[in-house]
C-alpha cells in the first residue's frame, strides 16, 4: 500500500510539473550544489526532532517523494526547503 501511495504522489507531482510554479521534484539534478548543501543542513536539523535521522539510501527516489510529502509539513518546510531536502536525500546514493 505504501508503495502505491508514493507512486501516485509521484505521478501527481509529475503531472503538476507543467505548471511553472510547481517544483519539479522528479528532476533532482536541477538543484545547484549550494541548494543541495542547504538541503543537507535542513535535513540534519529538522528531520531528527521526532525520530532518528533516516538513512537517505534506504529509500528509492520514488519512495522519497511520498515520504517528503508527509514529512515536509511535519518539519514545517516551505516549498523550496522541501525540494532542497528531497534533492539532497536522492543525491546520497
> How far are the Cα atoms of 2, 12, 24, 58 from residue 30, in angstroms, in the given order?
27, 19, 8, 22
Q: Which is nearer to ligand HEC, 29 or 50 (CB)?
A: 50
Give the C-alpha separation, 17 to 57, whole Å. 25
Q: Which of 9, 36, 65, 67 binds ligand HEC (CB under 6 A)?
A: 67
Q: Is 60 in the site for ligand HEC (CB under 6 A)?
A: no
Q: Which stretch binds ligand HEC (CB under 6 A): 7-15, 18-26, 29-37, 46-54?
A: 46-54
Give the shortest CB-73-to-ligand HEC separation in angstroms.
9
CA-based R_g, the chain, Å: 12
Q: Look up cell 509521484; give the residue.
A: 10
Where would I find the H helices in 2-60? Answer: 2-16, 33-46
Q: Does 46 bind ligand HEC (CB under 6 A)?
A: yes
**Where does this chain bind ligand HEC (CB under 6 A)?**
2, 43, 46-47, 49-51, 54, 67, 70-72, 74-75, 77, 85
Amino acid at each position: 500500500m505504501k508503495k502505491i501511495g508514493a507512486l501516485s504522489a509521484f505521478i501527481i507531482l509529475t503531472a503538476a510539473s507543467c505548471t511553472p510554479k510547481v517544483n519539479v521534484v522528479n528532476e533532482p539534478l536541477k538543484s545547484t550544489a549550494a541548494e543541495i548543501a542547504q538541503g543537507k543542513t535542513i535535513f540534519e536539523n529538522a528531520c531528527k526532532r521526532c525520530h532518528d535521522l533516516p538513512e537517505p539510501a534506504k529509500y528509492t527516489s520514488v519512495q522519497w517523494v511520498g515520504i517528503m510529502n508527509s514529512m515536509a509539513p511535519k518539519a514545517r518546510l516551505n516549498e523550496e526547503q522541501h525540494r532542497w531536502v528531497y534533492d539532497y536525500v536522492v543525491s546520497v546514493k
